[in-house]
Amino acid sequence: MIVKFHNRGAGAGSGPVEYLLGRGYDDPTQPNRPDSSLLAGNPKQIVDVIDSLRFATKYTSGVLSFTESDLSEGKKAAIMDLWEKTLFPGMEKDEYQCLWVQHKDKGRLELNFVIPKVHLPTGRQLTPYYIGQDLKLVKSFKDIVNYQFDLSDPNDPRRKRTQQRTRDEQSMPTAVMKTKEAIHKEVTALIGVGAIENRDDVIAFLGGAGLELARENESSISVKNPNAKRNIRLKGIYYERDFRAGDHTETALREATEGYVRDREARHSSAQKDYRSCLQGRRERFEERYQSSLRPWETEYPAAATYDINSDRNIISANDLGADELVQSSDSRLQQPSDEQRANETLLREEITTYDQIRRNIETSTRAATAAIRAAVQRIVTRNSRTIEIDSHRPQQLDATREQRTHLRDMQEPSLER
């Protein structure tokens, strides 16, 4: 699983919602997007709240993208809940809004989210993610989830690609795409015969082919496009700064994979430490900014991310039961409940979930309406203040007009002394 944030957020609320669900979310006569499912949130409320905001950027959107084609409903619910706790530590569900939409049209599972950038109780801007400040928090979340839920790890040496897609490929002309593919094909062939052994050799080949180097960084190389202004960006293992051809032989790859697996526990421990540290700092910033009594966050993280991959029934929604974290009962593995107890437990959970969902919907609707009313009142107050400022000059204008009229009358009337 990887986490992606989209570089959008300034438009109308209907934009991201229609992209995720299709126009049918608001109009039954319009088609829905194929292979999309609404998992959580109210699309109409999300659109209304986003459209009521006057910030430069009104919403944050992104996706949790999985290699797996699907996950159980219990795993998806647990991951989404943990993601919200990561972005909004200590906050209640009715202090923010989050729309969750599932996509499967690419042959893999995607959990898309849209978040209006407003703290509902105060009306202040709420930014879920700062690219520099929160990068370590998001990375540690990704590593912990992949570990706890036994998901495909994008950092595994077996999963590294010799060529990766770049963001500009969606709008890239066909001719440029063909040029890019031809460059990569030639680089691959030269590596196969031993003519290229490292990144310096790749750059030398590009220069010898008449391509001018435009930019290079840790993970990619860009060359100037002789037929257009936009550079051609090459990204993947072959274009990384530490690339060594000898590291990608079958034997080297097997050894690297074994070492990666061997260090799995150490990496997980490090990710937990980073997560706790970053989350605590984020919670303190939220508490200071919004001056709200945020729920205390447990300093011991493992209980929040513990998950039995062989059973979904041990996962309990933290918000449904009023707990601070996702919890898993260790006793349930020691004493197996009877079928009747399981049925009663399931029924009780469903009743609690239904009740709390109704309560949250009412509270969320109230928060959304309050935010919209607050924005409308602010606009009215702004207009009235301008009107008062204009009206304050009118008495002076009227006094001046009276003086002019009196002076004119005196000039026109005959003098009594005459």
Residue 41 neighbours by CB under 8 Å, 6+ apart: 97, 98, 99, 100, 114
Largest CA distance in the chain: 125
> In which residue are the tokens 């950027």 written?
57
Amino acid at 339: D
Residue 6 in tokens: 């989209």
Active site residue 19: yes
> In which residue are the tokens 């006569």 written?
29
Residue 250 in tokens: 């079958």
Closest CA to 98 of 129, 131, 138, 137: 129
* Phi-psi domain of 232 (left: phi exceeds 0; alpha: psi -120 through 50; beta: other): beta
> In which residue are the tokens 């029924």 written?
347
Residue 212 in tokens: 């001018």
Q: Catalytic one among 19, 129, 260, 290? A: 19
Query: What are the distances in angstroms from CA 281 to CA 23, 131, 292, 384?
Result: 40, 15, 16, 41
Annotated catalytic sites, by residue?
A: 19
